C-alpha cells in the first residue's frame, strides 16, 4: 500500500539552497520501484532548479522527517491553466532515503536487545530459493502458530557484528479473508560506538552487501536488501535503498538448482572471511554479479556469454599481476635489446614499407605474458580441475575449439550463427566460473552442484563431444 506524505522540503545543490517547497513523497513498502517526490514550485524556483541534477533533499511531514543526499531531478514541467496562470512542477527520484519517525516511548524498550546492542532489520528482495526460517502451522483448534525451523545459528561479520536470517509474517484482513505475506529478513546484531550514517555505512551496510552477494552465489539467485530499520533515541529510522529497478533485483529462475548443497550458515561463515581478505575480492564481486545476470536470463545468451567470459579475463589478469606474469621479459634492458633485434630483422626481411610498419607496431605485444599460459598457471596453482568441462583454451587440435574461440567469433564475426551451440557453451562457462569462485573461497566442491560426480549427469556436459564437433564446423568453416 502506498503512503503519501505531504511535506515541506529544503533542496540544496552546488551553492544554492531553496526552502519551504511543498511536495508529496510517495512510499510503497511493498514495491521495488524508485521513491519519488512531486514538487509544486513557483516560477523563481523553477528557473533555479533547472540547473540542478543531483540534489540534497530534506523534508518534514508533521513529526516525520526525511533526508537523502542522493536525490535526482528527473522531470520538470510547466502547465498553463484555464485561468491564465502557470503551474510549475518537478519530479524527484530519491535514492537512499532516511525516514525518521517518533517511537512510542512506552514501547521503545522492547526494541533494545538484552546486551544493549542495536538490531538492524534488513528486508530482503523476493526470492523463492532461500528457506523459510519460520513456518506457520495450523493447529486442530484453528489457531495458527509460528514454528521455528532452525537452531540459533548466525554468521560472524566482525568482532562486533553478527547476523542471522529470519522470516517475518504480515497478516492483513480483506473482507472475510486473511492474507498472509512471508518476508525474508536479515537481522544484524551490532555493538557500535555511535549510530551516525557514516558509521552504519562502513560497519554494517557494506558487510551486508558482501554477505548477500555470497548468498546470491549460494542460491544462484540475486538477493539484495530493499530497506532496513533500527531504533535510536525513541525514533524508528528506516533506510530505503531503492537504487535498483525491479527487473534487476528479481534476478533468478526457479528451475535452476542452488549451487551449494551445504548449510547456508556453514557456507557463509567459511566464505565471508575469505572473501573480505581475498586479493581477488573485486574480481569475485564482478564474477558473482555477472553470474546473477546469467541465472536470471535477463540478457541474451550472447551477452551473458561475453559478460561471463570477461570475468575469466579479469581474474586471470589479476593473477598475472599478483604473480609477476605481466611480461615475459621483466627486465627492461633485456626487452629493449630483443626489440631492437626484432626491428632490425623485420627491416631486413619485409620488403613492403606498409607491412614493415604494421609488423613493427605489433612487436610490443610479444612482451606480454600470454593469457593462455597465465590461465593454465592459475589453474595449476589453485588445483582447479576442469577436465569434465569445455576448455577455455584447447590443448591440441583434437580438443578444438576452446571457449575463447567462441568468444572471438561472437566479437569478430557477426556473420556466424552459433545459436545451436551457444547455450551449451554458456553452461560450461558458468560451471567453470563457479568452480573457480568456490575454489578461491575455499569451499569444498563436494558440497556443491559442480563437483565431478554431479557434472556427469548434466546434459550440457554429457553431449559435449558432439557439441564441440558442431562448433568446430561452424567456427572453422572457411579454413
Query: What was the pLDDT predicted at 201?
Result: 85
Provide the grid cell at 321: 599481476
CB atoms within 10 A of CB 417: 8
CB 216 within 8 A of CB 126: no
Peptide bond into 401 cis (omega under 30): yes
Q: How many angstroms separate the CA atoms of 371 and 319, rounded?
A: 10
Q: pTM, whole model, 2 decimals?
A: 0.88
Provide the grid cell at 285: 564481486
Query: What was the pLDDT predicted at 180?
Result: 76
Please choose, from the candidates 325, 280, 320, the residue with its C-alpha nearest in 3D space to the C-alpha of residue 442: 280
Give the CA diameter of the chain. Answer: 98
Instruction: Give me the residues of the chain with pLDDT under 50, please.
Output: 110-111, 245-252
Query: What was the pLDDT predicted at 426?
Result: 94
State pLDDT tens for residues 55-93.
999 999 999 999 999 899 988 888 888 888 888 899 999
Query: What was the pLDDT predicted at 56?
Result: 94
Query: What was the pLDDT predicted at 243?
Result: 64
CB 148 within 8 A of CB 85: no
**Residue 311, CA distances (Å) to 169, 288, 316, 375 in order:** 39, 9, 9, 12
Burial class (CB in 10 A: 0-12, 13-18, 19+), 332: exposed
Please choose, from the candidates 262, 308, 249, the residue with its C-alpha nearest in 3D space to the C-alpha of residue 31: 249
Pairing of strands 64-80, 54-61: antiparallel
* Helix extents (H) in 30-109: 43-49
Please give the backbone phi and psi of residue 106, each rounded to the nearest 5 degrees, phi first: -65, -30
Q: How many angstroms separate the CA atoms of 464 and 421, rounded?
A: 10
Query: What was the pLDDT predicted at 394?
Result: 86
Place of cell 526494541: 111
CB 435 within 8 A of CB 446: no
Q: How many angstroms separate the CA atoms of 97 and 181, rounded?
A: 24
Percent of the chain with pLDDT over 70: 92
State pLDDT tens for residues 156-178.
999 999 999 988 887 777 777 77
CB 410 within 8 A of CB 302: yes
Query: What was the pLDDT predicted at 438?
Result: 97
How many residues in the chain? 479
Burial class (CB in 10 A: 0-12, 13-18, 19+), 145: exposed
Please give the backbone phi and psi of residue 97, each rounded to the nearest 5 degrees, phi first: -80, 130
Phi-psi region of 115 (alpha: psi -120 to 50; beta: other; left: phi over 0): alpha
State pLDDT tens for residues 127-166.
878 877 777 777 777 677 777 766 678 999 999 999 999 8
DSSP state of 402: P
**Helix, strand, or coil (residue 5):** strand
Query: What was the pLDDT predicted at 250?
Result: 45
Q: How many angstroms separate the CA atoms of 304 and 293, rounded?
A: 7
State pLDDT tens for residues 371-383.
999 999 999 999 9
Q: How many helices (H) and strands (E) does the chain have?
A: 15, 15
Amino acid at each position: 500500500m502506498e503512503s503519501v506524505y505531504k511535506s515541506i522540503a529544503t533542496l540544496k545543490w552546488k551553492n544554492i539552497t531553496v526552502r519551504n517547497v511543498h511536495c508529496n513523497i510517495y512510499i510503497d513498502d511493498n514495491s521495488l520501484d524508485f521513491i519519488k517526490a512531486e514538487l509544486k514550485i513557483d516560477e523563481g524556483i523553477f528557473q533555479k532548479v533547472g540547473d540542478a541534477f543531483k540534489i540534497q533533499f530534506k523534508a518534514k511531514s508533521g513529526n516525520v522527517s526525511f533526508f537523502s543526499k542522493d536525490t535526482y531531478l528527473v522531470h520538470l514541467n510547466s502547465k498553463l491553466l484555464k485561468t491564465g496562470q502557470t503551474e510549475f512542477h518537478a519530479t524527484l527520484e530519491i535514492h537512499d532515503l532516511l525516514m525518521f519517525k517518533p517511537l512510542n516511548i512506552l514501547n521503545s524498550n522492547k526494541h533494545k536487545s538484552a546486551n544493549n546492542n542495536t538490531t538492524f532489520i534488513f528486508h530482503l528482495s523476493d526470492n523463492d530459493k532461500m528457506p523459510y526460517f519460520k513456518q506457520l502451522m495450523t493447529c486442530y483448534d484453528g489457531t495458527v502458530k509460528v514454528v521455528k525451523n532452525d537452531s540459533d545459528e548466525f554468521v560472524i561479520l566482525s568482532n562486533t557484528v553478527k547476523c542471522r536470517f529470519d522470516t517475518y509474517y504480515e497478516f492483513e484482513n480483506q473482507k472475510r479473508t486473511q492474507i498472509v505475506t512471508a518476508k525474508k529478513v536479515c537481522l544484524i546484531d551490532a555493538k557500535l560506538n555511535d549510530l551516525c550514517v557514516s558509521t552504519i555505512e562502513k560497519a554494517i551496510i557494506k558487510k551486508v552487501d558482501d554477505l548477500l552477494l555470497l548468498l546470491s552465489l549460494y542460491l544462484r539467485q540475486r538477493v539484495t536488501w530493499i530497506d532496513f530499520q533500527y531504533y535510536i533515541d525513541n525514533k524508528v529510522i528506516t533506510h530505503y535503498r531503492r537504487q535498483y529497478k525491479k527487473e534487476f533485483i528479481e534476478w533468478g529462475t526457479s528451475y535452476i538448482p542452488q549451487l551449494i548443497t551445504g548449510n547456508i550458515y556453514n557456507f557463509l561463515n567459511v566464505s565471508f572471511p575469505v572473501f573480505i581478505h581475498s586479493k581477488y575480492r573485486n574480481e569475485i564481486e564482478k564474477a558473482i554479479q555477472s553470474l546473477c545476470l546469467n541465472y536470471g536470463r535477463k540478457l541474451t545468451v550472447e551477452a551473458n556469454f561475453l559478460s561471463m567470459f570477461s570475468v575469466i579475463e579479469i581474474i586471470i589478469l589479476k593473477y598475472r599481476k599478483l604473480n609477476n606474469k605481466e611480461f615475459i621479459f621483466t627486465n627492461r634492458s633485456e626487452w629493449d635489446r630483443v626489440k631492437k633485434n626484432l626491428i632490425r630483422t623485420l627491416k631486413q626481411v619485409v620488403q613492403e614499407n606498409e607491412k614493415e610498419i604494421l609488423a613493427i607496431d605489433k612487436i610490443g605485444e610479444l612482451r606480454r605474458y600470454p593469457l593462455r599460459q597465465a590461465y593454465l598457471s592459475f589453474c595449476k596453482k589453485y588445483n582447479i580441475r576442469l577436465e569434465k568441462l569445455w576448455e577455455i583454451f584447447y590443448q591440441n587440435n583434437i580438443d578444438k575449439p576452446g571457449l575463447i574461440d567462441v568468444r572471438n567469433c561472437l566479437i569478430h564475426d557477426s556473420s556466424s550463427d552459433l545459436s545451436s551451440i551457444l547455450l551449451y557453451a554458456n553452461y560450461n562457462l558458468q560451471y567453470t566460473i563457479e568452480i573457480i569462485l568456490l575454489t578461491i573461497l575455499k569451499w569444498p566442491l563436494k558440497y556443491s552442484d559442480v563437483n565431478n560426480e554431479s557434472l556427469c549427469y548434466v546434459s550440457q556436459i554429457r553431449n559435449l563431444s558432439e557439441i564441440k564437433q558442431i562448433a568446430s564446423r561452424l567456427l572453422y568453416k572457411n579454413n
